[in-house]
Amino acid sequence: MNGKVWLIGAGPGDHGLLTLRGKDVLEQAEVVVYDALVGQGILCMMPDNAERISVGKRSGDHTLPQDEINALLLTKAMQGKRVVRLKGGDPFLFGRGGEELELLIEHDIPYEIVPGVTSAFAVPAYNGIPVTHRDICSSVHIITGHRKKGRVLSLDFKALCAMHGTLVFLMGIAALPDICGGLLDAGMDPKTPAAVLERGTTAAQKRVIGTVGSLTSLCTKQKVQTPAIIVVGDVCALSERFAWYEKLPLFGVKAVVTRPKERSSALSSMLRQKGAEVIELPAIDTKPLVGNTRLDDAITSLLKKKYDWLVFTSPAGVKTFFSRLMQTGDCRMLNGVQIAVIGQGTQKELMNYGLKADFIPSVYDGQTLGRELAEKTQAGARMLIPRAAAGNQELVEELRRVENVTIDDIPIYETRYKEMGILDLKTLLESGDMIFTMFTSASTVKGFARIAAGLDMTRVKAVCIGKQTQAEAARFGMNTWTAERATLEALTECLQNAAYELRNKEREAMV
């Protein structure tokens, strides 16, 4: 039985510009065939168990010729696979999507098209350039600026000038002198505003604003690189007035989020709202321990009121514990048992089960939790601590200060280190100065270090949620910044301060 192929437009780079339909299909893919211009954040959304095949197409450098890409899609579909062809921008706008369908149609392979947000509109918008404006122009025209190697660019420049609309050239940076020269030769005013927009919608976004007469020399001086688009028209003059993206506090910052995939969304959302480009690269995941008779016995004892305190040290511990509890009863059976949690993140997970903690320490770490909980606990107290197999012992040591205390410290899940993902970490972390790695636990630091084996750790800018996490990052030689409080909000603020600090150093170095 044949499979099916989906041609998905991934947009111009920003993770948020992938459509909901595209995201749903991508997450169910068994094979993903992707281009070089697909955003890094979107690449990280591929299923871990999917076969991932790069056919990286950039100007003058094709990993796989187009006819071989077509054949690859056919082969994988005929194996009964759910195949996603992931393309930058929109698959039907200079994306050769139509060519990739021809062979599928010949062999009766079912397919769907998932349109994407085109860079022709999104990139100008992220740079404050409306491609149409009622008071300036009423039409927009998208033109391919690609020329085959050794050939002259063949465009009807007189017709383009006669349209009096905004001109957007895609894939045209190599031909920029020919494009500007052709427009000038066709009679366009040399003072017509024009722009080159490099790597739009990403942390590396950059724009060069000039005129048709000056744009080529300006881009040469500023060493513009691909991917970039060219916009010609009076609307380009609005860019400084309408610019918004670079005004966000974390614009230009790329943040690598290392916490488990199921826990990453809240932090990623906070960072993206402030303008950061987020790469979700989980360094660890958690897995419940199977055949855990100690946990089952503890739950039985808990329901018989044999514990005074139930202590949670992580959201994963809460989720794993209640998943098991629900197989026996429900939260009403905890009546009379007091609950302590290590911090706000664990508290939020607990509230998903309709419960609120009786105690949260002033500082969100195991030692403080143990010390402060011990101070308010009566002699002879009985405590259940369901947590990670490699739990920090400072918590238990502090609780043992309570006279005649009984502590059942039970491992209920294990923390596993992830394997290397789709991205090349060395290339990623060395691709710019404003790249920070976010750590929410010592375990995420250790997992990251395993994934990044061989990387010069002194190049890693580590933003850490607490002192224990910072100490682990420092042990590997990373440059560290530590949040004032162990919350995601404080961690986001810490990143903002770190970026501000580095930017100031860069300015001082230039003076």
Annotated active-site positions, please? 35, 57, 171
Token output for 188: 């366009």
The closest of 77, 89, 71 to 51, measured between CA atoms, is 77
The closest of 489, 423, 40, 21 to 273, measured between CA atoms, is 489
Is omega for the bond preceding 227 within 30 degrees of 0, making it cis?
Answer: yes
Q: Which residues contact 366 (CB under 8 A, 6 or more apart)?
A: 313, 342, 391, 392, 394, 395, 468
Q: Which residues pair with 436 in a beta bridge?
A: 255
Compute the C-alpha angle 316/360/318, nearest 5°: 20
Query: Rounded to the nearest 5°, which phi and psi values hold at 222?
Result: -95, 5
Q: Which residues contact 192 (CB under 8 A, 6 or more apart)?
A: 183, 211, 212, 232, 233, 234
**Rounded Cα gap, residues 41 and 243, in angstroms:** 23
**Rounded Cα gap, residues 82 and 80, in angstroms:** 7
The closest of 111, 37, 43, 47 to 74, measured between CA atoms, is 111
CB contact at 8 A, 7 and 79 = no
Q: Which residues pair with 359 in a beta bridge?
A: 340
Token output for 256: 């690598």
166-170 and 228-232 beta bridge pairing: antiparallel
Query: Rounded to the nearest 5°, which phi and psi values hold at 142?
Result: -105, 125
CB contact at 8 A, 491 and 269 = no
CB contact at 8 A, 100 and 70 = yes
**Rounded Cα gap, residues 12 and 121, in angstroms:** 10
Q: Which residues contact 388 (CB under 8 A, 6 or more apart)?
A: 286, 313, 314, 316, 317, 411, 412, 413, 414, 415, 443
